[in-house]
Chains A and B, each alone.
Chain A
């Protein structure tokens, strides 16, 4: 499996954080795009589908959990990893129930995140014919 082909969409309202994270993941041969709110994330899906979405929970306007719900309703094959600074056990459970692939807390080790993205991509490949 070619990891360079994995398309990742980072959704985080902290612009500096999203951009730096994207740069670091690109150095690990992933194709990364960034958007800075939930609404933008959903409209981006209409143009180009990522394989994996890395999604923050607390954002202005549409919250991460609402985005996850919507993504799973309309693009169930896209794997979603929650990356949050403030996730509670209850939210982790809820994300799992909604079909989230993983739940990481900020600051996450970059290799852990990259590995999780690759695992999520593998999962997507097994589910998509």
Chain B
């Protein structure tokens, strides 16, 4: 097999792993929403069966209904993030907001961060121009850096994700803060050379500092 084909295949496999991880986190969250709705509806059923109908009970019914509505609202936002994430792959190049694409990635990774008690902090420049690039590949690159942080940082750490405009470009700064685990088995899920090759496809570049900070530079137009 030609080496280009091999690296293309490797990238595809790593992207599948990325999508699989996003789906695992998504289904976990979704099941939680459904479980809460299930118990809330069950509780209403229990109360009806017990003939609870005093004024105090009615206000409790309303409280449960509001809790169900809240869960449905949260689930809906979560579904929207996945839907937008999936549609990022519709076309190779498109015009999109950098902040929105990173925000939806963070929403889909929050479950993993919460599991490890790692806070994902957003610090976005509000008035960034739109990018014309490959949003799906960009999300894959940002995921690779965040995933490495989530894997290697100890509990109660934080990762700040900053965006800023530069001359005809944008910069994404990822700053991990906390103790790093020293387990030898914890290797990045996406090898650095794959991330570097991928960012080059978007005419951008990535710089990793010894302190763990990562800088991703991306031109406003990839082509």
Chain B residues with CB below 8 A from A16, complex form? 36, 40, 67, 71
Segment touching B, from A21-29, A47-55, A90-98, A116-124: A21-29
Which partner residue on chain B sits nearest A20 by CB separation? B39
Decide: B46 and A107 in contact? CB cutoff 8 A: no
Segment touching A, from B81-89, B99-107, B113-121: B113-121
Known contacts being A24-B42, A61-B117, A61-B155, is A17 close to B50, with CB within 8 Å?
no
Known contacts being A16-B67, A16-B71, A60-B114, is A85 close to B32, with CB within 8 Å?
yes
Q: Which of A14, A106, A110 contacts B42 (CB 8 A)?
A: A110
Chain B residues with CB below 8 A from A61, complex form? 117, 155
Chain B residues with CB below 8 A from A58, complex form? 28, 115
Chain B min CB distance to A123 (Å): 25
| Contact count band on B | 20 to 34
Q: Which of B43, B114, B116 contacts A20 (CB 8 A)?
A: B43
Asked if A73 CB lies within 8 Å of chain B CBs, one says: no
Chain B min CB distance to A10 (Å): 11
Asked if B34 CB lies within 8 Å of chain A CBs, one says: yes
Asked if A75 CB lies within 8 Å of chain B CBs, one says: no
Chain A min CB distance to B220 (Å): 38
For the complex, give the distance between the alpha carbons of A27 and B52 in Å.
12
Decide: B50 and A27 in contact? CB cutoff 8 A: yes
Decide: A85 and B114 in contact? CB cutoff 8 A: no
Asked if B31 CB lies within 8 Å of chain A CBs, one says: yes
Tally A-B pairs: CB < 8 A: 50
Q: Mark A79-114, 1 if CB is under 8 A from B, else 0.
A: 000000110000000000000000000110010000
Asked if B35 CB lies within 8 Å of chain A CBs, one says: yes
Q: Would you list which residues of chain A between 7 and 38 have a CB under 8 Å from chain B?
A: 14, 16-17, 20-21, 23-24, 27
Decide: A14 and B50 in contact? CB cutoff 8 A: no
Which partner residue on chain A sits nearest B114 by CB separation? A60
Known contacts being A61-B117, A85-B28, is A17 close to B35, with CB within 8 Å?
yes
Chain A residues with CB below 8 A from B64, complex form? 20
Number of interface residues of A (CB under 8 A): 17
Q: Mark B118-141, 1 if CB is under 8 A from A, else 0.
A: 000000000000000000000000
Which partner residue on chain B sits nearest A62 by CB separation? B155
Chain B min CB distance to A82 (Å): 14
Q: Would you list which residues of chain B between 29 and 83 have a CB under 8 Å from chain A?
A: 31-32, 34-36, 38-40, 42-43, 46, 50, 64, 67, 71
Chain B residues with CB below 8 A from A27, complex form? 46, 50
Chain B min CB distance to A22 (Å): 10
Decide: B116 and A60 in contact? CB cutoff 8 A: yes
Chain B residues with CB below 8 A from A59, complex form? 115
Which partner residue on chain A sits nearest B64 by CB separation? A20
For the complex, give the distance between the alpha carbons of A72 and B1 in Å.
54
Decide: B39 and A107 in contact? CB cutoff 8 A: yes
Chain A min CB distance to B218 (Å): 32
> Can you list the 8 inter-chain pairs with the closest CB atoms, starting with the nearest?
A107-B38, A20-B39, A85-B31, A106-B35, A107-B35, A17-B36, A16-B36, A60-B117
